[in-house]
A and B are shown apart, each in its own frame.
Chain A
């Protein structure tokens, strides 16, 4: 039996620092997705929201917040929170509902409004909270990104110039994307001239936080057939697995890895796509295009290897060869990635699916990956959350 579901519609509110209520971005994205799908709002049986923790109670119950703003019509609602994987978990909730037969067509929405500046921990003295402890010791999010980046330099001989090439490439992609926040081409010299934040990463190697919203209308294959959409792009797999003890890599916000003295160490990032490939019955060689979570330029290279799109240590060479640009053999982040969007946590995993849907439909305009058949996403957030979604034509 097929576990596929159809993506009937996608929509986004452009990313930016708009400073408005997150509901506005979510509803705009939802209306666009509904219009794109041709499905009437009143026919949606399930609204699956991705929560935001930064916008008060309406953010905690995002599914209901969006349903109310669109006009209560009696649909069931759900809200998922899974840090950066919230959008994928909201999609997974909709898929479960559809595959169980409890609903035919669902709306998945995520949106966020972000504060200015560094993300900081909650206030108060909390020495039992690892997140408080690491900030107390001066260890910020870029610290972790920089440790991974430096590890690549030490192990594989990657250079800061390689990381800059990732930024230059993503900026070229994002320049063509009307939903991207930063639409400006940069040179390697521009990257090298930006301030060092956490050696070896500069300001332009690290992603910002943004406001934005993204939405999907998804349905059973039967429903898609019934409304004449047999050609719809399909969700072939969703992986939201948790890590396996013990952690091999130091993960935000921890001060130490688990001990691998008694059990083997496992890489979480590498495990995420494994379940997705298995579920989809698709192999890494089949992938035409990937949207990965480039919290830093160097992390994009880690993801390429974690997704098994190349051997360990080979990602930088692919970037140097131009293989990861649109027009290359293996385009990565044709949307422009987080480099051009900035992170809008509950919307980001959904935005990755929007981009791949446009790519697989052949509607991505100047950033179109020719003949894209299979796309994969990957992201990772705090506390054992992460996801990988595979779409196919």
Chain B
């Protein structure tokens, strides 16, 4: 786990809320999936043992960074505090959620949307990019996850 970046600003350690699910490059983060070496099917989260394509008996996978941009398939928000293991700030602040379609992988991936973007700001087909942001904080660390963020050119305001 990398802890190198934060001492300078006196900030808490930033660590992934889910280990090995995304790269930690703050500028250009990617989700980490994998791809069947036999048939080319993509997986996120990563496949472990056997390819799920019923026409494929592959069992070898190569890690791949998934496309970091995609188009909104649908979206919603959470106006009630989700139950544990979600760790909520007090008071709870509602957050927006998007399902984003990745063109190359032909896959729809869920994620929270960065703070400040409401459902009324989103539309199906809108271009989104992947960023890293805080999922929750505790005394030890800021636990980070991927989130979707409208690409500036959408002019969603």
Type the 1/0 row for A238-268, where 1 means its CB is closer than 8 Å to any CB of B.
0000001110001000011111111101000
Q: Are A262 and B41 in contact (CB under 8 A)?
A: yes
Of the listed stretches A105-113, A120-128, A182-190, A333-341, chain B binds A120-128
Asked if B19 is an interface residue, CB under 8 A from chain A, the answer is yes
Give complex CA distance A138, B79 in Å. Answer: 11
Q: With A138-B97, A140-B82, A143-B97 as given contacts, are A154 and B123 in contact (CB-CB < 8 Å)?
A: yes
Of the listed stretches B7-15, B107-115, B149-157, chain A binds B107-115
User: A139 is contacted by which of B44, B75, B110, B124 (Cβ under 8 Å)?
Assistant: B110
Q: Which residues of B contact A151 (CB under 8 A)?
A: 73-74, 124
Q: Which residues of B contact A147 (CB under 8 A)?
A: 73-76, 97, 99
How many whole Å from A91's CB to the nearest CB in chain B? Answer: 27
The interface residues of chain B, by DSSP majority, are classed as: loop
Enumerate B73-93 residues with CB–CB distance to A below 8 Å: 73-80, 82-86
Give complex CA distance A365, B109 in Å. Answer: 47
Give complex CA distance A321, B104 in Å. Answer: 41
Q: Are A263 and B78 in contact (CB under 8 A)?
A: no
Q: Which residues of B contact A265 (CB under 8 A)?
A: 106
User: B86 is contacted by which of A136, A257, A261 (Cβ under 8 Å)?
Assistant: A136
Q: Are B99 and A250 in contact (CB under 8 A)?
A: yes
- Which A residue sits closest to B106, measured CB to CB? A260
Q: Which residues of B contact A200 (CB under 8 A)?
A: 76, 119
Enumerate B24-74 residues with CB–CB distance to A below 8 Å: 39-45, 52-56, 73-74
Q: Which residues of B contact A130 (CB under 8 A)?
A: 45
Give complex CA distance A258, B56 in Å. Answer: 14
Enumerate A132-154 residues with CB–CB distance to B below 8 Å: 132-140, 143, 146-151, 154
The interface residues of chain A, by DSSP majority, are classed as: loop
- Which B residue sits closest to A130, measured CB to CB? B45
User: A256 is contacted by which of B18, B108, B145 (Cβ under 8 Å)?
Assistant: B108
How many whole Å from B77's CB to the nearest CB in chain A? Answer: 5
Q: With A147-B75, A256-B44, A259-B105 as given contacts, are A133 and B83 in contact (CB-CB < 8 Å)?
A: no
* Number of A-B residue pairs having CB atoms within 8 Å of each other in the complex: 139
Give complex CA distance A265, B53 in Å. Answer: 11
Asked if B141 is an interface residue, CB under 8 A from chain A, the answer is no
- Which B residue sits closest to A145, measured CB to CB? B76
Q: Are A121 and B85 in contact (CB under 8 A)?
A: yes
How many whole Å from B37's CB to the nearest CB in chain A? Answer: 12
Q: Are A256 and B110 in contact (CB under 8 A)?
A: yes
Give complex CA distance A132, B87 in Å. Answer: 12
Give complex CA distance A120, B97 in Å. Answer: 19
Q: With A135-B86, A139-B97, A140-B83 as given contacts, are A255 and B45 in contact (CB-CB < 8 Å)?
A: yes
Asked if A1 is an interface residue, CB under 8 A from chain B, the answer is no
- Which B residue sits closest to A122, measured CB to CB? B85
- Which A residue sits closest to B78, measured CB to CB? A138
Enumerate A87-122 residues with CB–CB distance to B below 8 Å: 117-118, 120-121
Q: Which residues of B contact A255 (CB under 8 A)?
A: 44-45, 109-110
Residues of chain B at the chain A interface (Cβ within 8 Å): 17-19, 39-45, 52-56, 73-80, 82-86, 95, 97, 99, 104-112, 119, 123-124, 135, 145
